[in-house]
């Protein structure tokens, strides 16, 4: 039986991936309250905004202020999404801990979404790295390969192309890479195969998995990725965001469901799940016109749940 | 990396576990249509009813007729639930292929649900075996240990008690045993631990897993059970039934989501998923007052889905 890690990191992406996908614009003070309460519940990595043109994404226009607040919290790793060099320069200015750069392995998706081909984005990543080095900054550059498991526009995305993109962004200067199932096509079979192959290309620089629950497989996919050595996962409180592409379908993996599964498996997340569920209830009040997803909040914690896992399931026969 | 089976069986339990939990009474002709269409889609095991007193469960009053119809379909394994000797005698009369006997490892649940202690049920299983042998019948006796992962009434259910029940029912003459997460408390950690331990008690006679999706973990739990060697899973079309105990929460694992995951993993189910989705749409029309669950039907098949899996994910590097 494959061994599993003893701990895992959940990066909260609800403040970016979540809020950019919904209609409601959450005021800056509420974003800061979300960050503070998630921090108090134990979350230590958050993607808090995006440096994209404000006219394209007014929901995230306050990203610089939100980063400034988040950086006041000790040991919180504060990430922002940046689509291009201009965004990267802003991330450097605000001294974000990490800049997350999406690179779509689907040519059609890349052109539709970023108006650039994958190779143009790869070249831009080289310029971001040069800017970071010129500034003497510590901001980590992490590239997420989106549509790594298929694309709603072009359909198949070849594994060869995903591996080519991975190698190219590492060569261009990315510090870390991850794989994202942007459209919810992945299942555990593809996850196992693609992450194993990516590990051979990127080694320890393969550092994150981003799954959507569109077809109900996000948590099974996390399980499969854990077994390939992945210990860091993106998730969104209440599963908001994630371009579900279908009415009623959910998008991002729900942070609270993911914490519940990992803790049950004896994998420490550092997160107090009851605090997180209380924050989710608050978020539901803040977003009265949005549908929140996730099963745990509806069903409640099991009567037998004792908080953080004692890791006893790995102990064998009782 | 743990190897996975090349094929798995999904036993459809919607006609029993599903229909007994909802208000609508489905007419016999529709039950037979469900069975026929599920059979045409490739399903070869179904739990089609229950021999319990009609006053307790009028939804399943036509079980004998439904069994008679199901038995006309070649190679279909026709199962019925039986709670006691009287039910077992009826299952023998109608020549069901298997009788499924629930035994709750939670004393409190057993008394509340069956009005018998676990030991009284174990003694009854001995009488069922004697009746089967006296009749010279081939009807398989399969005991499902319910509340094996915890109980909403009593809370914890000890692993020792689950193992004691398993051993006792095998000693009493059960042909096969399974473990059921009746209330949706299990996660992959507990699944792995309990199925591994049960395997040491029951060997190849440990033959089925029954998961609920109450907290979103049914499919991750299937993954964990597959890795312990389980190749047979209960599921319900549209996830109906399964005592969800919470408004909006789902119950049984959805057959269609489970088929999708297994086929994606290169595990052959023999089921044509498009035929199954068409039947689910029909079931939705038959049950206009019920909420069906499952993610695949909402999101649709991925553009890249090519039908039954070519098993290519186990082939390693492309």
Three-state secondary structure call for residue A9: strand
> Does the residue B317 lie in any domain?
no
**C-beta atoms of A188 and B250 within 8 A:** no
Per-residue model confidence as pLDDT tens digits over A138-182: 999 999 999 999 998 999 999 999 999 999 999 999 999 999 999
Q: Which residues pair with B100 in a beta bridge?
A: B81, B142
A150/B214 Cβ within 8 A: no
Q: What is the pLDDT of residues A75-112, one digit of tens each?
A: 999 999 999 999 999 999 999 999 999 999 999 999 99
Return the pLDDT at B139. Answer: 98
CA distance B190 to chain A (A): 6
Q: What is the mean pLDDT of residues A122-126?
A: 98
- Return the CATH number at A111: 3.20.20.70
What token pair was written down for A81? 């999404």
* Chain A residue numbers touching B162 (CB-CB < 8 A): none
Chain B, residues 242-261, CB within 8 A of chain A, namely 244-250, 254, 257, 260-261
pLDDT in the model for residue B316: 34
Q: Is B110 exposed, middle or buried (0-12, 13-18, 19+ CB in 10 A)?
A: buried
Total tally of structural domains belonging to chain B: 1
User: What are the chain B neighbours of A7 within 8 Å (beta carbons)?
Assistant: none
Smallest CA–CA separation between B302 and chain A, in Å? 6
Question: Percentages helix, strand, coil for chain A, rounded to the nearest 5?
Answer: 45, 15, 40
- pLDDT level of residue A191 (50, 70, 90 thresholds): very high
B55 touching A (Cβ < 8 Å): no
- Output the 3-class SS for A53-74: CCCCCHHHCCHHHHHHHHCCCC
Out of A151, A188, A314, the one facing B223 most closely (by C-beta) is A188
Q: Is residue B32 annotated as a catalytic residue, yes or no?
A: no
Report pLDDT for B94.
98
- Closest to B8 in 3D by CA, of B264, B307, B228, B269: B269
The Cα–Cα gap between B248 and B258 comes to: 20
On whether any CB of chain A is under 8 Å from the CB of B183, the answer is: yes
Mean pLDDT estimate for chain B: 93
Q: Taking a C-beta distance cutoff of 8 angstroms, is the pair B217, A265 a contact?
A: no
On whether residue B1 sits in a domain, the answer given is: no
| Local confidence band at B219 (pLDDT 50, 70, 90 cut-offs) | very high
Contact predicate B226/B244, CB 8 Å: no
Residue located via tokens 């994910």: B313
- Give the range among A250-254, A256-260, B93-97 with minimum mean pLDDT: A250-254
pLDDT at site A307:
63
Nearest of B203, B281, B265, B315 to residue B5 by alpha carbon: B265
Other C-beta atoms closer than 10 Å to the C-beta of B29 total 11
- The complex's ipTM works out to 0.92
Count the alpha carbons within 13 Å of A251 in the hemisphere toward its beta carbon.
25
Residue of A nearest to B220 (CA): A220
Question: Any idea which of A191-205, A237-251, A253-267 has the lowest mean pLDDT?
Answer: A237-251
pLDDT in tens, B155-184: 999 999 999 999 999 999 999 999 999 999
Contact list in B for residue A254 (CB cut-off 8 A) is: 216
A44 part of a folded domain: yes
- Chain B CB contacts of A5 below 8 Å: none
Would you state the structure tokens that stand for residue A271, as one six-digit string? Answer: 């997160």
Residue B247 confidence class, pLDDT cut points 50, 70, 90: low
Residue A315 in this model has a pLDDT that exceeds 60:
no
Cβ atoms B145, B180 nearer than 8 A: yes
Note whether A253 and A213 are within 8 A (CB): yes
| pLDDT at A312 (0 to 100) | 39
Q: At what angle do helices A255-264 and A273-286 cross, to 10 degrees?
A: 170
Q: What is the pLDDT of residue A249?
A: 61
Taking only the tens place, the pLDDT of each residue in A222-242 is 999 999 999 999 999 999 987
Does residue B93 belong to any structural domain of this protein? yes
Q: Give domain status of residue A4, yes or no.
A: no
Chain B residues in contact with A264 (beta carbon < 8 A): 187-190, 217
Lowest mean pLDDT: which of A189-203, A215-229, A247-261, A266-280? A247-261
Domain that holds residue B167: 9-312
pLDDT digit string (tens) for A18-33? Answer: 999 888 899 999 999 9
Q: Of A3, A10, A92, A82, nearest to A261 (Cα)? A: A10
Residue that wins the pLDDT comparison between A256 and B291: A256
CA distance A208 to A234: 7
Q: What is the mean pLDDT of chain A?
A: 93
Residues of chain B numbered 106-135 and touching chain A (CB < 8 Å): none
Residue B4 domain-assigned (yes or no): no
Q: In terms of DSSP H, where are the helices of chain B?
A: 28-40, 63-70, 85-93, 107-114, 118-135, 159-172, 188-202, 218-227, 255-264, 273-286, 296-299
Residue B125 has pLDDT above 90, yes or no: yes
Interacting residues of B13 by C-beta distance below 8 A, sequence separation 6+: B46, B47, B210, B234, B235, B236, B241, B252
* Half-sphere CA count of B96, side-chain side, radius 13 A: 30
- What percentage of chain B reaches a pLDDT higher than 70? 93
Q: Does A310 touch chain B (CB under 8 A)?
A: no
pLDDT of residue A113: 86
In chain A, pLDDT over 90 holds for what percent of residues? 86
**Coil/strand/helix, residue B50:** strand
Chain A residue nearest residue B150, CA to CA: A304
Between B248, B299, B303, which is nearest A215 by CB?
B299
Taking only the tens place, the pLDDT of each residue in B47-61 is 999 999 999 899 999
Interface test with B, best of A218, A265, A299, A318 (most B CBs within 10 A): A299
Q: Any CB–CB contact under 8 A between A193 and chain B?
A: yes
Please say whether the beta carbons of B165 and B179 come within 8 A: no
Selected catalytic residue, list B32, B151, B208, B243: B243
Residue range B220-242, pLDDT digits in tens: 999 999 999 999 999 999 999 87
- Asked if B183 lies within 8 A of A245 by C-beta distance, the reply is no
| Res A250: pLDDT | 73
pLDDT for position A87:
98
Band the pLDDT of B317: cuts 50, 70, 90: very low
- Ramachandran angles phi, psi of A286, nearest 5°: -70, -25
A310 chain-B contacts, CB cut-off 8 A: none
B86 within some domain? yes
């Amino acid at each position: 039986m494959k061994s599993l890690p003893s701990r895992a990191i959940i990066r909260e992406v609800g403040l970016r991936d979540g809020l950019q996908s919904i209609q409601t614009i959450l005021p800056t003070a509420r974003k800061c309250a979300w960050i503070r309460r998630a921090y108090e519940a134990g979350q230590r990595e958050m993607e808090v905004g995006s440096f994209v043109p404000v006219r394209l994404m007014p929901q995230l226009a306050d990203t610089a202020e939100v980063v400034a607040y988040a950086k006041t919290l000790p040991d919180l790793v504060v990430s922002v999404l940046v689509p291009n060099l201009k965004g990267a320069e802003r991330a450097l200015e605000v001294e974000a801990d990490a800049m997350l750069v999406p690179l779509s392995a689907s040519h059609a998706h890349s052109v539709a979404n970023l108006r650039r081909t994958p190779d143009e984005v790869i070249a831009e990543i080289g310029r971001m790295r040069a800017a970071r080095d010129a500034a003497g900054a510590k901001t980590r550059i992490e590239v997420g390969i989106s549509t790594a498991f298929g694309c709603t526009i072009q359909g198949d995305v070849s594994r060869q192309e995903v591996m080519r993109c991975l190698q190219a962004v590492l060569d261009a200067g990315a510090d870390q890479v991850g794989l994202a199932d942007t459209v919810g096509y992945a299942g555990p079979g593809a996850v196992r195969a693609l992450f194993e192959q990516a590990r051979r290309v990127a080694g320890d620089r393969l550092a994150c998995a981003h799954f959507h629950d569109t077809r109900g497989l996000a948590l099974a996919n996390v399980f499969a990725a854990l077994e390939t050595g992945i210990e860091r996962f993106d998730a969104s409180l209440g599963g908001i965001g994630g371009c579900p592409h279908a009415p009623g379908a959910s998008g991002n993996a729900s942070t609270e469901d993911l914490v519940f599964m990992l803790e049950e498996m004896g994998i420490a997340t550092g997160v107090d799940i009851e605090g997180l569920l209380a924050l989710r209830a608050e978020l539901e009040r803040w977003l009265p016109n949005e549908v929140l997803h996730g099963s745990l909040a509806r069903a409640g914690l099991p009567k037998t749940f004792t908080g953080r896992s004692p890791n006893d399931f790995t102990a064998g026969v009782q």
